[in-house]
Amino acid sequence: MKGLKKMKIINILFLVFLLTAFAIGISMTETEMPVINQALDNATIIATNFTFDTATNNTYANGVLLVTEKFFHFITVAVVEVMRIGILFGHNNPDYFTPEFIIGIARLIVWAMILSLLIVPIMWAAAFLIILVIWIKNKFKTRGEYNESR
């Protein structure tokens, strides 16, 4: 259960990150876009050139450091490219980010959060109703058998 809550928080943070990238793209002018692209390219180059020192005598430690390094490369490049996509989308489609649209997205997020909090109680209520129906059905079935035996 704790993992699901963390996943919900991560999804919300990712959505806020993406909306922030859209907002940055909306505020950029045509002259600033090459500067932003160059800055994102530099961030990608720096992230991919980052290495851990794998000159230890332990083979397992070298493997763990190599996997950690590759994971770091993947995460940083993914974040930079998502930021680039968000900025370009926001720059090319500023009409999606009117106040009404942003309020609509905020309402959608709030409703999704409320629904996600209510899923477990709704499932418990549905399970209770199913068990209650089965119990009532069995109760009438056993009464019918009792009356027939008389």
Predicted local confidence at residue 31, as pLDDT: 86
116-136 pLDDT tens trace: 788 888 899 999 999 999 999
The model's confidence at residue 6, banded by pLDDT at 50, 70 and 90, is low
Predicted local confidence at residue 126, as pLDDT: 92
Please say if the pLDDT value at position 149 is more than 60. Answer: no
The model carries a pTM of 0.57
Ordered DSSP codes for 52-105: -----S-HHHHHHHHHHHHHHHHHHHHHHHHHHHHHHHHHH-GGGGSHHHHHHH
